[in-house]
Structure 1
């Protein structure tokens, strides 16, 4: 229920928060969202601690759903998730472009790669740290430690935000004008009563559909339907059912993560040698070709042999290199192709569209949550990746508006 409510909150609230972010100065809006996120995290942590100390925590699921602490937990988690998404969109779609330079595509690619690399390493380090803590202390102590980290991180985040702006000579104070003369706004982003609430949601979806680099965004969303040919619970269940050694299953997930890190090192080189759009197409086509081969190996019926099964897994591991490369390059295409005045609105709406895909994916996984359905789900995954590659390749024949938006980068 919590996951469902979070997804619905993102679908409905994403465009609204994006519009607000585009209508306010960057630094105040960023600091306010950081405060809201920290508050949501603390409330959620408090509710979890209350649940551990409450006798009703061991009650049935139906009675737990009616508990006030559970309702506050769901609400706080949803607000925290929405704030975190808005912060990520602001950083990925707006701040990096300003700090790295829109007319420096290789530098922008390198900046994206470094930040993505740091994110991956922090995720690994954070999971390892709390894994160690949970093995030595009870969950209540670990939750209190996490709450203390949240409190300490807020002033540090505000300080680092101020320092970033100072070291960049006030780059984050720049107005949010459009990047292309044909799509330039006369007066910049405005906030009025006509674009609050439901109108803001409709405006977000309208702007998303009419964005000039829509094929790149739809390709990103289509990849969310790849429900099997990734390191996931369904893949783990399939490999376990095949009797594969647990160390090999863990190694498969680890190698997939390693490919994500490796992609951060090659993406900037791809942009440098192929150009932005061709580099994105290369990543998606590479992934589609490897997954096509993997599915062909699966349907050949020879996975009963361990060597063939390992070859099947190797193809999926290598395909993650193409997936993660496109993840970085596609982000840069959207950074370059979306006007600064609408970056947050379109970015958060894109996350809302992806949340719709996640809900559909969740429903399919629930209905077909059986190893016997692995073949059907693998074909669904392959179709989604091939469709994403086909959709993205439409950018290889750009319109006049797309040529304008990419005029500061390498030509198509």
Structure 2
């Protein structure tokens, strides 16, 4: 059910967003001056559908990378799980690298409308392929359909006696969401998990804010694109390096080495603050962020394996 719901919400959301983008691009410029309501509604629809699509993608990532990978690797050597996590992350980063390139080619050599139409059609066609591939894996590995795999988790939660609570407090403490947080806080990997979450709580990545800042600093768009591509390539390289490092020094030490590696690369970003020449400072910032992806993704893989 989770698999079907994830695929349905993800693809329908992106298809709706693609149709809305096509409608905006086909909207007559002169008509916007007289009636803004359709334009505003389409923009709201794009943002809502994009948010739903992103949440659905995150749900699918959790299902495949956090659940299925663990089940499939049961009874295997820890290096098997490390390799599987690395391959999944490599596929993810490769898609993130290729998607902007393909979209950029379509926009540059065809049109912006064609890119939006391609997005909508791609989601229509890919949902069939996705469903077939995922169901093939699900049916081919019977252990994935086994229920009650975590039935004994509640025995390790150590719930506080509810006799001292009454009314709404009783229901609040017994709520599955609260129980899940209490279970998580009892795990040994809670601190590395929080550290990993804080690493993503930053603007030092090739996101929208950093891209806008670099353009404001005078960095050409194609250079920013090359920087993003280099960052993705380094991230893919991390997926090859981590299994080798983990097999030699364990996932714990690999994670420690990775986080110090990222911190060292980010020192270059800090140094760019004192560079007076704006373009040179921007290039230093880009170089530091791109180089730090090696440590970031290796640390990500190390923490994920510790959690699993």
TM-score, normalising length: structure 1: 0.60
Q: Distance in 2 between matches of 1:73 and 1:308?
A: 35
**Residues 127 and 102 from structure 1, CA distance in 2 versus in 1: closer, same or farther, beyond 3 angstroms?**
farther
The correspondence of residues 144-155 of structure 1 with structure 2, limited to 5 A, is 144-155=117-128
**Residues 58 and 203 from structure 1, CA distance in 2 versus in 1: closer, same or farther, beyond 3 angstroms?**
farther
1:324-372 residue CA offsets vs partner (Å, 9 max, x unmatched)? 11122222222x2xxxxxxxxxxxxxxxxxxxxxxxxxxxxxxxxxxxx
> Equivalent residue for 2:198?
222
Q: Distance in 1 between matches of 2:227 and 2:105?
A: 22
TM-score, normalising length: structure 2: 0.77
Q: Distance in 1 between matches of 2:180 and 2:43?
A: 31
> Equivalent residue for 2:2?
29
> Equivalent residue for 1:46?
19
Gaps of 5+ in 1: 1-27, 186-193, 337-412
Report the CA distance between 1:208 and its aligned residue: 4.3
> Equivalent residue for 2:165?
none
Q: Distance in 1 between matches of 2:207 and 2:49?
A: 27
For the 8 Å contact 2:234–2:293, the answer to whether it is kept is yes
The answer to whether residue 265 in structure 2 is matched with residue 287 in structure 1 is: no
Report the CA distance between 1:309 and its aligned residue: 8.1
Q: Distance in 2 between matches of 1:43 and 1:234?
A: 26
> Equivalent residue for 1:98?
71
For the 8 Å contact 1:291–1:315, the answer to whether it is kept is yes
Q: Cα RMSD between the aligned structures?
A: 3.8
Alignment partner of 2:243 out of 268, 290, 296: 268
Report the CA distance between 1:44 and its aligned residue: 2.4
User: How many pairs does the alignment contain?
Assistant: 294
Gaps of 5+ in 2: 158-169
Q: Distance in 1 between matches of 2:42 and 2:185?
A: 39
The answer to whether residue 82 in structure 2 is matched with residue 131 in structure 1 is: no
Q: Distance in 2 between matches of 1:320 and 1:123?
A: 14
**Residues 154 and 303 from structure 1, CA distance in 2 versus in 1: closer, same or farther, beyond 3 angstroms?**
same
Q: Distance in 2 between matches of 1:49 and 1:294?
A: 39
> Equivalent residue for 2:163?
none
The answer to whether residue 147 in structure 2 is matched with residue 175 in structure 1 is: yes
Report the CA distance between 1:249 and its aligned residue: 5.0
Report the CA distance between 1:152 and its aligned residue: 1.6
Higher mean alpha-carbon deviation, 72-81 vs 256-265, is at 72-81
